[in-house]
């Protein structure tokens, strides 16, 4: 009986430790998603009429999952401390929802990468052509692209030189830079999503083991 209670206590502390880690991971995921959305090299697109919503969709799911992770982390601590089967069962269900959301984000980031890249490249082509037709009309959008991706024009920068960053040394093809930067960012989003999904598996295992141990201890009593 003493060994059983000791094992139960050990599982409970493991779950408490997991929930603390899970809460911190949720905070990090929110910070990561918000920085990608409103900071870094993509922040200027949030004010554009044609912002790359396809790219941002994965970030919205990621931030929402991060907020849920923080709430669930606190919820799981309460369930482990009170040794409540009902709360632990609800905790398991919430982890399952987070697992599905993070897997969706990861798969979306990896599979939808090419579509997102083409979408942003098409936006650039439209801004580029608008500028050539009417240099006043397309100036703001094209400048945003060049500033965000630190590039200038396509094969040549001569036609759009006034919109290029002054600190840019040499010529960089924007079509290539868009593909490179968007690809790296979506890979990071995918890695974070899959990583968090893997973490939730441990939480689900710990919660079910503790729930079963609590039920068995009550049957013994």
Q: Which two tokens stand for residue 157?
A: 């920068």
Of the chain, the end-to-end C-alpha distance in Å amounts to 10
Tokens 């697109």 map to which residue?
Answer: 45
The pLDDT, as a whole number, for residue 89 is 82
Enter the DSSP assignment of 51.
-
Mean pLDDT computed over 91-106: 84
**Hey, which CATH number is domain 100-220, 1.10.1450.10, 3.10.310.30, 3.40.50.300, 1.10.10.60?**
1.10.1450.10
Query: How confident is the model over 158-174, as a mean pLDDT?
Result: 85
* pLDDT reported for residue 221: 47
In the numeric block, the tokens 């924007």 are attached to 174
Predicted local confidence at residue 58, as pLDDT = 62
Write down the pLDDT at residue 175: 92
Average pLDDT, the chain: 79
Residue 182 has pLDDT above 80, yes or no: yes
Q: Which two tokens stand for residue 9?
A: 């206590």
> What is the pTM for the complete model shown?
0.71
**What sign has the CA pseudo-torsion 82, 84, 86, 90?**
positive
Q: What is the pLDDT of residues 6-50, one digit of tens each?
A: 666 777 788 788 888 888 888 888 887 787 767 655 555 554 555
Q: Identify whether the C-beta of residue 22 lies closer than 8 Å to the C-beta of residue 199.
A: yes
> Is pLDDT of 154 > 80?
yes
131 touches 138 (CB < 8 A): yes
* pLDDT grade for 136, boundaries at 50, 70 and 90: low
What does the pLDDT read at residue 176? 92
Sequence-distant (≥ 6) Cβ neighbours of residue 183 within 8 angstroms: 113, 117
Answer yes or no: are the C-beta atoms of 99 and 91 closer than 8 Å: no
Q: Which two tokens stand for residue 208?
A: 């079910």
Q: Per residue in 55-91, pLDDT tens? A: 566 667 778 878 888 888 887 787 777 777 787 888 8
Residues contacting 16, CB < 8 A, separation 6+: 77, 80, 81
Q: Stretch 89-112: mean pLDDT, rounded? A: 84
By three-state DSSP, how is residue 155 classified? coil
Tokens 């868009």 correspond to 178
Q: Where are the domains of the chain?
A: 1-82, 100-220
Residue 155 predicted with pLDDT over 70: yes
Give the pLDDT of residue 52.
Answer: 56
């Amino acid at each position: 009986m003493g060994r059983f209670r000791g094992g139960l206590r050990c599982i409970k502390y493991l779950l408490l430790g997991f929930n603390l880690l899970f809460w911190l991971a949720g905070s990090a995921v929110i910070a990561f998603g918000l920085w990608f959305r409103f900071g870094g090299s993509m922040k200027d697109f949030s004010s554009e009429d044609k912002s790359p919503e396809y790219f941002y969709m994965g970030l919205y799911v990621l931030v929402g999952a991060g907020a849920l992770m923080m709430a669930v982390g606190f919820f799981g601590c309460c369930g482990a401390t009170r040794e409540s089967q009902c709360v632990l069962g609800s905790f398991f269900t919430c982890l399952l929802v987070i697992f599905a959301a993070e897997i969706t984000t990861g798969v979306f980031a990896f599979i939808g990468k090419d579509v997102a890249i083409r979408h942003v490249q098409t936006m650039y082509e439209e801004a580029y052509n608008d500028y050539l037709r009417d240099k006043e009309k397309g100036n703001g959008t094209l400048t945003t692209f060049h500033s965000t991706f630190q590039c200038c024009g396509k094969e040549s920068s001569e036609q759009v030189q006034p919109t290029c960053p002054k600190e840019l040394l040499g010529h960089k093809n924007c079509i290539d830079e868009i593909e490179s930067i968007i690809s790296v960012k979506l890979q990071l989003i995918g890695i974070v999503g899959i990583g968090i999904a893997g973490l939730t598996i441990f939480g689900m295992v710990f919660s079910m083991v503790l729930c079963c141990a609590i039920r068995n201890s009550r049957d013994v009593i």
